[in-house]
Amino acid sequence: MLTVLRTTWPLLLGILLLMVGNGMQGTLLGIRGKIEGISTTQMSVVMSAYFGGFLLGSRVVPELIRQVGHVRVFAALGSLISSVLILYAAAPHWISWSLMRLLIGFCFSGVYITAESWLNAGTTNENRGQAMSAYMIMQMLGIISAQFLMNTADPAGYLLFVIPSVLVSVSFLPILLSTQPAPQFATLKRMSFGSLFRVSPLGCIGIFLMGGVFSALFGMASVWGSTKGLSVREISAFVAAIYAGGLLLQYPIGWLSDHGDRRFIVLGLSVLGAAVSLATVTLQPDIWGLLLAAALIGGVANPVYSLLLAYTNDFLDSSDMAAASAGLLFINGVGAMAGPLITGWLMSLLGPDGFWVYIGLLLAVLAFYAGWRRTRRPAAPVADQQSFAVIAPSATPVAVEAALETASSDDGDKPA
């Protein structure tokens, strides 16, 4: 791991700063929207726009990279991100915010693709797994760190929009000044959604549902906190707890997934998440209870996402994994676009509890479907399962392909 850090630390530092900027803008808009008098329904459109832009970027940016190169695309998208982060405060209206969120989602998708390509090209088969693990940890730590910075200034002012803009601008320096040549960007083979569903119905349905859960957590948590009447400190702590839970529980759950029926683990985690959501609505806990609920929900959402990808790959040849993962990420993106919109609608009907009702319902549906699928197909033998790869729900096809390639190579080391 030390060798990996010595060779990739500039890129990992850039990713950390990038995620701090992204994490701040998501939380800040939810809080500032309440101050500006923007309704919950309108804020749901704002938050959904990011995922629409992210999904569009994942389809368009690879072709842009092939036409003009990594460096130009990276620099152009980085400039747009920094500009939008400043313009939020200058145009506090839900329509303008929606358009800017659409643009910034598109840009972040392209920036992630570029950074992940560089990281993948700069590592070997021997250390790529460690590099990708470090990359995912930096993503989580960046978003968690962003929540602490939320308490450094008044969200009604301008400074909290300036800080992420500066951090994002600085984050581009390590890659743009790198002496490492830009990697080649190959065309990814496609798999039809019908073929993908026939391979793994649970993978497709589960990834769609988890896209909705993730976008509610990432996009609507601060909107929920503002509607709930929490302070800025409490909202930032709540968001940080979501990602801290995901960071802490990914690896132990990953170990369990390599030693048993993954559908049973998906079922158990989904039941746990649904129970936590129900308990939060029923008990109306204080801030400490809310932080515990956030950590548990985050600890469920992130591992279940990776579990579903690993489960789908158990029924694929290694040559089809990248194409299948790209299809699953598209399905996840469609679910993510719908997540904030439905959450906002439920919150307009039920109040703040609509946030938990939405998450609980999706996890309950996933639990039911995972249990039903266990009756339709025998579990893959543990010895034949693909290794679990830690993958963030915001990962692009580049990072997923690299992580799965590493996991597949690790399978050769499994005892027979």
CA 203 to CA 370: how far, in whole Å? 10
For residue 373, how many other CB atoms are within 10 A of its CB? 19
Q: What is the pLDDT of residue 175?
A: 66
Locus of tokens 């609980």: 360
For residue 285, how many other CB atoms are within 10 A of its CB? 13
Domains, the chain, with CATH or none: 2-411 (1.20.1250.20)
Locus of tokens 């990697």: 183
CA 167 to chain centre: 20
Taking the chain (416 residues) in runs of 10, the rounded mean pLDDT of each run is 61 82 89 91 93 86 78 82 90 92 90 73 61 76 89 89 88 69 59 79 90 90 92 93 86 73 87 95 94 93 81 71 73 89 93 94 94 77 58 62 57 46
CA 305 to CA 378: how far, in whole Å? 21
Q: What is the pLDDT of residue 307?
A: 82
Contact present, 222 and 30 (Cβ < 8 Å): yes
CA 298 to CA 218: how far, in whole Å? 10
Which residues lie below 8 Å from residue 194, measured CB to CB, with a gap of 6+?
Answer: none
Q: What is the pLDDT of residue 183?
A: 58
Tokens encoding 401: 């392909």
Q: What is the pLDDT of residue 405?
A: 59
Q: Is the Cα dihedral 367, 139, 23, 91 positive or negative?
A: negative
